Amino acid sequence: MHLGRPTETISLRSPILIKQLVIAIYPGSFDPITLGHLDIIERGAKLFDQVIVAVLCNPSKSPLFSVEKRINQIRESTPHLKNIEVDSFTGLTVEYAKSRQASVLLRGLRVLSDFEKELQMAHTNQTLWDGIETVFLATTKEYSFLSSSIVKEIAQFGGTIDHLVPENIARDIYTYYS
């Protein structure tokens, strides 16, 4: 006979939680990839299960390097990051994200004018697919001025770019402009 509180049954089984991997796409032309881009990739790799650095094939642009070369440059610059993949795509970024089962677009912000453009793109992407979120990372202050265009312009006129891009990229750019 039991006098007192009713006996409670406690299950020693804990529910199995299935965690969905969070895949982020970091799209861009990366012509060339800079230390600012690498900063965003490295920080994104800490936040997400997988980051796909997606090189955009834009037929209306005349890039310094081919898509294949840019992919190889990025791979050579990121061997220390195990959850990074490098790929290329054409078309709409959200369609590519869907095809890769990604739920996040990763974007870097340098200055206020970047935010205006990026916010407009984020809202537009949401109208195309409500399964995508855009996450903005502010660049570190040492790279807030840096862009691929600036790197190319400095190199074109014989300036030093070693402090702006990875060593392998600097070599490729110096060779291109020599």
Least confident window among 11-15, 82-86, 174-178: 11-15
In the chain, the domains with their CATH numbers are 23-177 (3.40.50.620)
Q: Could you say which of 37, 70, 107, 152 is catalytic? A: 37
Share of the chain above pLDDT 90, in %: 83
Tokens describing residue 131: 């399964």
- Residue 13 confidence class, pLDDT cut points 50, 70, 90: low
Confidence at residue 4, expressed as pLDDT on a 0 to 100 scale: 54
Confidence at residue 6, expressed as pLDDT on a 0 to 100 scale: 53
Note if 70 is an active site residue.
no
Angstrom distances, CA of residue 101 to CA of 71, 98, 117, 118, 121: 21, 5, 25, 22, 20
pLDDT digits (tens, 9 = 90+) for 104-126: 999 999 988 889 999 999 999 99
Note if 80 is an active site residue.
no
Whether the CA torsion 136, 132, 30, 69 is positive or negative: it is positive
- Residue 158 confidence class, pLDDT cut points 50, 70, 90: very high
Note if 66 is an active site residue.
no
Note if 61 is an active site residue.
yes
- Residue 3 confidence class, pLDDT cut points 50, 70, 90: low
CB 161 within 8 A of CB 151: yes
Query: Average pLDDT of 89-117?
Result: 95
Confidence at residue 114, expressed as pLDDT on a 0 to 100 scale: 87
